[in-house]
Structure 1
């Protein structure tokens, strides 16, 4: 019986991994305010987490990341459609701070459109541009704004979102 359940579980996981996940559109206007000078100000602290809460069902509780000697280091939480969110506040690693979204087998085009729309929360004034292989979307000339890095693996894609504001 255990072998049957294990086999069914592995088959179910393989089917989920084979299905392409298309990210739901990000409505930047719902999370921003335009002030009297025409500048865009984000009204949320963690735009990616807010997007997930608004658009996907959480299938796990928040799991606190172990502290690295200095208090809160963040948390991780799993959502439907093979999406894992991590908020990092650590100060000791390359992915030390920011929001990390891990998606099982995402639709590439939906990821690129999603990144461009999330960037509007950081005040997109046309300063962000893609690099040659579409793995980084960042301001040119060291301007302030959103910084995005996309790392693709065989079965999943990781998007690191950081604010340079």
Structure 2
């Protein structure tokens, strides 16, 4: 079943490859709750998934990932515009929030702006910086915060979002 889903997702992605996808802007303020004492709560479980549910229509059901020796391993789901979301809870990913966003033929600048906006949820205090080829956005001094890795392939880009908080 997983192989069938992957093949269908790739076919769908290839069909959209001719169209450049611009990610809808991420508004950090929409994901910050204020408690009764006026303090900000920036803890959002599955931040990327919440953003997708708020901004895109799901075109598949959640497909549970097979367990990796123990309990829940996460899920994957396809959204409109050639976007596939995967939440991984397996192995060492349990130490951090690992969310993967795969986008068919994305507009590169919209991805970079999206990453910088999402980072504000993790308490961006100017510690995150891009590496030389704009494939990693992370704290420079091994401090806690958001970690982003962008991998470009021919017809799609994968963004890994991890929180070291």
TM-score (norm 1): 0.84
Deviation at 1:158, TM superposition (A): 0.2
- Alpha-carbon separation, structure 1, partners of 2:13 and 2:142: 42
Deviations 1:132-164 (A, max 9, x none): 000000011111110000000000000000001
Q: Partner of 1:101 in structure 2?
A: 101
- Alpha-carbon separation, structure 1, partners of 2:86 and 2:102: 8
Is the 8 Å Cα contact of residues 105 and 156 (structure 2) preserved in structure 1? yes
- The runs of 5 or more residues in structure 2 that have no matched partner are 1-10
- Greater gyration radius: 1
Q: Partner of 1:17 in structure 2?
A: 17
- 3-state DSSP of counterpart to 1:81: helix
Aligned residues: 152
Q: Is 1:60 aligned to residue 46 of structure 2?
A: no
- 3-state DSSP of counterpart to 1:147: strand
Q: Partner of 2:85 in structure 1?
A: 85
TM-score (norm 2): 0.84
- The runs of 5 or more residues in structure 1 that have no matched partner are 1-10
Q: Partner of 2:160 in structure 1?
A: 160
Is the 8 Å Cα contact of residues 137 and 149 (structure 1) preserved in structure 2? yes
Deviation at 1:12, TM superposition (A): 8.5
Question: Aligned Cα RMSD in Å?
Answer: 2.4
Is the 8 Å Cα contact of residues 83 and 102 (structure 1) preserved in structure 2? yes
